[in-house]
Chains A and B, each alone.
Chain A
């Protein structure tokens, strides 16, 4: 599996899109840090961007890489290699290369700016961690969708739709549900609903570090008690791990049943 990962990874390092992605983060972060004024402000702006962009790019990369590497896949399928290893290897290759783009693109400017000597280091770490999780989650979902759809256009459309759903539509429905049932106690519902959307969950994890005052003061004791504690933090991170594991498991499930 690691050999496949290695080859997928090196294959991707030849793709200029990966560099464009990394360079975009780099330039953005540099300009936010040096022109926008200050660490915490840069972290907030980056959060807004990473929460949207990391899932989107991971989705597109996942789907595109799957369809573009079919030749490679077919070559591998005739070799004495486990099927699940082929697809996990490719998936991890995509996810890792995205993760490294993000890490370098966002991380380097912060290191140059002196994040290690700042109190914001934890907020920043959380931002990066969440960005990495989102890359892994959405490239897994994308791979799963691509595996299930041999038709490129259909697969691509579906993957983008899934991204759109989690990035925007889900929250719209969420808000609608909240305002329709505002006469009922909704805190547990609100927690539950955020767990089911990795983007929401990631956002809340960062917000609890950043806008903690506003969030906690208002939503009530349940959310504060759940999300604000170490246990809640551990739970949320655990759910994010599940969000990686589930589509990855789906990749395996489809992979061993699929004809090539």
Chain B
């Protein structure tokens, strides 16, 4: 039975990946949207590979005359890793070398993330991560930006709002009503922010974009809100005092957490 361990493990990891990428939008909590096709393809490939490995193992079991081949192609590594392990006293007993017919032992660590994804998918990062990280603004030159899209109010990402507020010499935000969506974080002295995490590859590289909200009561931390209001200029162009940008709120509305919890950088 242990011989089918690798096959089962591959199928488990593949299923977990498919569960978050193909059958739901949960993958957006962990990686950026563009990775979805690769996740679907690799999830499917892993399930297929698991089946193929099971077939190879099964066939090797059924061919008793083919004993030699079984050791190599069927499941593996008992023989070969044996060589590798022996020459190297220092490394012996390392987790990765425990190869029985069940495949590399270290591989069983894969069950942790796989089961987590299948049973309790971890939540998207929220205010805890945002507050731990001093909000960083991507340093860039002051310059003019493309004209804002039409619409009143105009929907902006917090990243876009921040860049335009601090670096736009054309002052394109002036006189426009904007709508920002994010979760609530608290600052010192009763200030509060509408905040969003920016992710470019996976949640491990998350950075923070936020805007201070004035003129409205602070909702509880981590509630998702849509803030409609106007930009409140503060500090000079490109100056440190211009960060974080400020929005004078007209309305603050609670919304459900969007499917895509992060902004693409």
Binding partners A and B: no
B interface, CB within 8 angstroms of A? none
A interface, CB within 8 angstroms of B? none
